[in-house]
Each structure stands twice: as C-alpha cells, then as structure tokens.
Amino acid sequence: MKIKLAVLPGDGIGPEVVNVALDVTKAICSKFGHELSYEYALVGACAIDKVGNPFPDETYNLCKDSDAVLFGAVGDPKYDNNPSAKVRPEQGLLAMRKKLGLFANIRPITTFQSLVHKSPLKPEIVDGADFICIRELTGGLYFGRPQGRTEDGNTAYDTCVYSREEIERIVDLAFQYAMKRRKKVTIVDKANVLATSRLWREVSQEIAKRYPEVETEYTFVDNVAMQMIQWPKRFDVIVTENMFGDILTDEASVITGSMGMLASASVGLQTSLFEPIHGSYPQAAGKDIANPLATVLSAAMMFEHLGKQKEGTLIREAVNASMAAGVCTEDIATDGAKAYKTSEVGKWLVDYINK
C-alpha cells in the first residue's frame, strides 16, 4: 500500500512528538511492506513567523492531496494575552478544520493499567473506563457570526450557530460508533437554556429512531461534567457541540492520568487528521522531555482509519510494552524511577516494532 502523509509539526513540543510518531510510522511501514512518502508543512505560530499566515495555501494543498495528516500542536506565548496580535496560531487550526471539512473530532478515553495510580481519581472509579467523545468541530461559537466588539470596546459578543445538516452528520456518526461498541449514546446539550441545543436534541431524537438497538440518553452538559468524574465507566459514546466538547474532553483526559496519553482523530469531508489532544506546551519545547505516546497512539488511529488494523494493533502493543517496561517520560514515570527522554522513548518503540 502507498501512503502519502502531510506532516505538520507546528509549535512548541509539536516537532519533538511528531518526529517520534513519524519514526514509528516508518518502522511500521517497513515491517508491513507499505510505501511511505511524506512532506513537511507549516502551521501555527511558525507559519505566521515565516509567511504571515497560520494555515498557508501550500499547507492546505498538501493536506488535501495526502492520505492523512499527522499533526503536532499550535500555540506560542508571544501571542497569548496580546490584544494587538492581528492573527493568532489557533486561527490556523480553525482554518484547517474548516477548509478540510473536519467536522468530527474522535477522542477515545481509555485507562492504562500501569497509569491508574497517576489519575487524581480513585482507582476503583477510573479502572476500566473506556468511552469515546465525539466533538463537533466546525460549527458553534468558534465559527459563529457575527462576532466582535462594540465601538467603545466595553462589550464583546460571539454567536453560536448550528444547522440541521451539521447536527445530523455528527450525531449519525456517533450512533455508527456506538453500533460497533456497547450500543449506548449520550447526547450532551443545554436544551433548557439554548436554542441551538434544542435543535440538537430535536434532530438527535429523529436520528435515534434509526438505531433502535442503541440506548440513547439526553443529558445537560453540567450534569455530564459531574458524572464523568463520579462514574466515568457509565459512558460509551458521548457526542456534543464544539465548545462543550472542547471542555469535556480536556476534563476526561485526567481520567487516564496524563493528557500526554490521549490520541485523537479529526475526520470529515476530505483528508483526515491525527493529533494528540495536548497543546504546544512551550515550557517544555526543545528539552526532550515531552510525552510522545499520545502522538504515537494517534498514528495507530491513522493506520486503523486507513484500514490497517494489524499495524495499529502493533503500535498499541508497543506503547503498552514501553509503559510495562517503565520506559516513560517524566509525566508518567513511577515515583523514584528513571524518567526517559522523548527521543529515548521513540527509539525504544522503534526497536520493539523492529523486533
């Protein structure tokens, strides 16, 4: 099989973790006889610095013409709390999602046996948690118009907008995932307050009728935020709008013990994109200490999305074996144990795959 990748390292620790995931991808392709080609492209703050655009046309064209996108992170402190900045790295991420039609973000939340003790929640609460968050990515407050400030600057406004079509495609996708799992979907909204949420609930009820085998529940976002901490094992597939999903998926990340362990896929109308859920973590950039496993697991999701289940399974096996062997970066290393460098973890994974 020929695989063409667009590689977008981005900012901060992005280049370090993406390099590890790319090395793992190369090892997998070599082992399974796939012909891999890849090309790097700019996105985020580094793209602003070089060409003045956080998602240049050249990057978009490369992504569009590739089989998949392997992405790191965007963000730079010099753009934070800087009202004079006319363009921000995060705008590149939003533009990428919109232009590529990446309407669904898939985030599996699973616990790792060797990491249960790292979770801030009690082991009996988190051990065995296994659910998927499906977040709508191209609508809602982040893309709604109008958006801005009044002339005096003292009032700001954003508009949350959703269409029936946007809701139908994301909710239907959630039911498709549930049919392959434990057949339960949780629709998350705020229908007691928001008009967009009432449309979400109305459309979701229509779609649920197509899947009578699936248990469907409708729950307010504040209630889900509470239950996710109290009873994370009760969930199977959670689907929600853009901002709610943004918040809930970060909350869910602590269940596993480290945000550095969670992979994600953004799928939609064109090329699908695979990325860790963590940000650019600029404080760690260049120090070779960032956890690359979320990005490596994103590469596993990429192979599985391309129909290569054995390849994805081997990557997951390598990740589990590395943790069992204690080959971990400082964020998940057992207290008192040696903390390995990002590059050392990458080399161990490649060696495991080769053997």
Pairing of strands 35-40, 2-10: parallel
| CB contact at 8 A, 329 and 261 | no
Q: Which one from 157, 222, 287, 351 is the annotated catalytic residue?
A: 222
Q: Which one from 246, 288, 341, 347 is the annotated catalytic residue?
A: 246
Residue (of 111, 76, 112, 104) closest to 91 by Cα position: 76
Residue (of 296, 306, 303) closest to 348 by Cα position: 296
Contacts of residue 97, defined as CB under 8 A and 6 or more positions apart, other chains included, come to 103, 137, 138, 266
Q: Which one from 60, 79, 142, 162 is the annotated catalytic residue?
A: 142
Q: Which one from 60, 79, 118, 190 is the annotated catalytic residue?
A: 190
Q: Which one from 158, 250, 288, 347 is the annotated catalytic residue?
A: 250
Element (H, E) at 272: strand 272-276
Residue 167, CA distances (Å) to 2, 85, 93, 241, 273 in order: 34, 33, 21, 8, 21
Q: Provide the token pair at 99.
A: 């232009």
Distance CA 275, CA 69 (A): 8
Is 98 a catalytic site residue? no
List the helix and strand counts (H, then E) for the chain: 12, 12
Is 222 a catalytic site residue? yes
Is 190 a catalytic site residue? yes
Residue 46 CA neighbour count, 13 Å, CB half = 18
How many CB atoms sit inside 10 A of residue 113's CB?
11
Is 127 a catalytic site residue? no
Is 189 a catalytic site residue? no
Q: Which residues are catalytic?
A: 142, 190, 222, 246, 250
